[in-house]
Amino acid sequence: MLNTSENTLDPSDWPAFRLQGHQMLDDMLDYLEHLREQPVWQPMPQDVRNTFRQALDNTPLGLTEAHEVFMETILPYAAGNAHPGFMGWVHGGGTPVGMLAEMLAAGLNANLGGRDQAPVELERQLMQWVRTLFDFPETAGGLLVSGTSMANLIGVLVARTALLGTNVRRTGIAGSKQKLVAYTSASAHISIAGAMDIAGIGSDALRRIQANEHYQMDTTALAETVAADKKAGLTPFFIAATAGSADVGAIDPLAAIAELAEREKLWFHVDGAYGALAILAPDIAPRLQGIERADSIAFDFHKWGQVPYDAGFILVRDSAHQLDTFASPAAYLMRETRGLAAGSPWPCDLGPELSRSFRALKTWFTISVYGPEKLGQVISNTCALAQYLKRRIECDPHLELLAPVALNIVCFRYRCRDADRVNADIVIALQESGIAAPSTTTLQGRLAIRAAIVNHRTTERDIDALVDATLNFGEMAESNKPMSQAQEI
């Protein structure tokens, strides 16, 4: 049991607590140093799962015992996105520096809703860095949020207020006679529709514009749909373009969409969840051309930026719209000019959350300690690895590429009869083998093995392991051998 000093939760024996703390730090550094020797992922045995079904117990665990529970039942059964062989979905790998910064932030226990404090200044510093990265004007504002789902929602809400005025905050959408419609590509992330739903506009009011053969929004179809909606008496107000689509990594034609948005006076939002940070990579950044014209950009530091979860960002060209959307004037205009209540506007005036964590610290540490250039190199490197994987697929008659490789995502499959089922089985076998963890997606009705190379730790060796194991499992499927014997290969 942890002995605490009377009436507080602090330890009575600080030296003993310090020793245990050092042990916990060492264990996590060991974990990160030796990640590669572990399986990417392993299924959780039922008896381990059962340990999470206990009633709340009145007898406290010791800190040492709680740490043992973590080491034995939690750490080995995480999703594995820190591991270089993890290529499923679009997950960042995290870093040891980010981990240490999280510890500092937790110790400080800052609440970033507002007040006159250095943590808020640090978040403002980050905002300025982001603003200059995307070449936004000084009127711009922004906020760290949980992730791009939240950032997309904020984008929709700010665009709504910019169009309808602050009255909409009292009357709701129903108070306006206008029927708002928004546009995104057919391959856009589900959180765009989610944002329309949560904002009360409704996902039916989101037009999904068809994509071309590169999985980019078809701008001719976009222009036609906007024109038809206007003709029908609807009010087009918002376009969400994607920079780095989650399924294949496509970048919509941002400059052409910016053009159209300007002409039609629509809010131009970019969902750059993972792709926007390619602005840090000199060889990839030119492909984002047009993003600097956006009214708002949503992106994540926790994907390509490698900041530990969670850290998303919303950048808004004209921060006045953001204040109009979220600030309660009664509260923020009455703040002090001195003392702890100075320094308005506060972060809570720019988004829906009042209490907020110190996400800025791990983000600032990551950018400062590694430097933007090195982070950009990681992004370039994952794209180069995707090209390497693409070449391996093209050189092997058993494998087939299913989508163009624009950035760091490669969609392919093993050629065989009943390919949808076999490739789904191959992906499960890969995951269960612990060798690699890709995911699946469906492209034009065909199931693809999807390798999203996001992790800074991934190397050609990990790509080779993925390809070799895929070929092995494919062969087993063709000779009707069960792939569950996978562990033996």
Ligand X SMILES: *Cc1c(COP(=O)(O)O)cnc(C)c1O
For residue 247, the minimal CB distance to ligand X (Å) is: 9
Complex with ligand X: residue 218 or 400, whichever CB lies closer: 218
Query: In sequence order, what are the residues at sequence separation of 6 or more whose Cβ sits closer than 8 angstroms to the Cβ of residue 448?
Result: 402, 403, 411, 412, 413, 423, 440, 441, 442
For residue 367, the minimal CB distance to ligand X (Å) is: 18
Q: Contact region for ligand X (CB under 6 A) — 64-72, 267-275, 285-293, 352-360?
A: 267-275
- Integer-rounded Cα Rg, in Å, for the chain is 25
For residue 297, the minimal CB distance to ligand X (Å) is: 12
Encoded tokens for 348: 């809570």
For residue 67, the minimal CB distance to ligand X (Å) is: 29
For residue 57, the minimal CB distance to ligand X (Å) is: 34
Encoded tokens for 400: 């087939």
Longest dimension (CA), the chain: 76
Do the Cβ atoms of 248 and 404 come closer than 8 Å?
A: yes
Amino acid at 463: I
Q: Contact region for ligand X (CB under 6 A) — 107-115, 222-230, 241-249, 405-413?
A: 241-249
Q: Pick from 465, 451, 102: which is nearest to 310 by CA?
A: 102
Encoded tokens for 161: 């207020």
Q: Cα–Cα distance between 359 and 144 in angstroms, integer? A: 7
Complex with ligand X: residue 242 or 439, whichever CB lies closer: 242
For β-strands 446-452 and 439-443, DSSP reports them as antiparallel
Complex with ligand X: residue 187 or 472, whichever CB lies closer: 187
Q: Cα–Cα distance between 406 and 254 in angstroms, integer? A: 15
Q: Cα–Cα distance between 484 and 481 in angstroms, integer? A: 9
240 binds ligand X (CB under 6 A): no
For β-strands 409-414 and 439-443, DSSP reports them as unpaired
Q: Cα–Cα distance between 471 and 263 in angstroms, integer? A: 51
Complex with ligand X: residue 88 or 434, whichever CB lies closer: 88
Exactly one of 102, 271, 295, 349 binds ligand X (CB under 6 A); which one?
Answer: 271
Complex with ligand X: residue 311 or 435, whichever CB lies closer: 311
Interacting positions 423-482 with ligand X (CB under 6 A): none
Amino acid at 178: Q
Q: Is 390 exposed, middle or buried (0-12, 13-18, 19+ CB in 10 A)?
A: middle
Exactly one of 115, 131, 160, 189 binds ligand X (CB under 6 A); which one?
Answer: 189
Q: Contact region for ligand X (CB under 6 A) — 67-75, 177-185, 268-276, 480-488?
A: 268-276
Complex with ligand X: residue 140 or 276, whichever CB lies closer: 276
Do the Cβ atoms of 349 and 326 come closer than 8 Å?
A: yes
- Block residue for tokens 């034995």: 72
Complex with ligand X: residue 149 or 433, whichever CB lies closer: 149
Query: In sequence order, what are the residues at sequence separation of 6 or more whose Cβ sits closer than 8 angstroms to the Cβ of residue 222?
Result: 183, 209, 239, 257, 260
List residues bridging with 236 in a β-sheet: 181
The binding track of 191-230 with respect to ligand X, each residue x by CB under 6 A or -, is x---------------------------------------
Interacting positions 9-28 with ligand X (CB under 6 A): none
Exactly one of 134, 136, 268, 274 binds ligand X (CB under 6 A); which one?
Answer: 274
Q: Contact region for ligand X (CB under 6 A) — 41-49, 92-100, 156-164, 240-248?
A: 240-248
The binding track of 275-304 with respect to ligand X, each residue x by CB under 6 A or -, is -------------------------x----
Q: Contact region for ligand X (CB under 6 A) — 124-132, 228-236, 238-246, 430-438?
A: 238-246
Question: Which residue's CB comes closest to ligand X?
Answer: 147
Exactly one of 187, 242, 322, 423 binds ligand X (CB under 6 A); which one?
Answer: 242
Complex with ligand X: residue 147 or 347, whichever CB lies closer: 147
Complex with ligand X: residue 148 or 325, whichever CB lies closer: 148
Complex with ligand X: residue 112 or 144, whichever CB lies closer: 144
Q: Pick from 92, 301, 271, 305: which is nearest to 195 by CA?
A: 271
Number of H helices, E strands in the chain: 16, 11
Complex with ligand X: residue 304 or 370, whichever CB lies closer: 304
Interacting positions 57-116 with ligand X (CB under 6 A): 90
| Distances, alpha carbon 169 to alpha carbons 157, 197, 248, 316, 353, in Å | 10, 16, 37, 19, 16
Q: Contact region for ligand X (CB under 6 A) — 118-126, 147-155, 455-463, 471-479?
A: 147-155
Strand, coil or helix: 452? strand
Complex with ligand X: residue 89 or 332, whichever CB lies closer: 89
Q: Pick from 257, 277, 276: which is nearest to 267 by CA?
A: 257
246 binds ligand X (CB under 6 A): yes
247 binds ligand X (CB under 6 A): no
The binding track of 305-324 with respect to ligand X, each residue x by CB under 6 A or -, is -------x------------
Q: Which residues bind ligand X (CB under 6 A)?
A: 90, 147-149, 189, 191, 242, 245-246, 271, 273-274, 300, 312
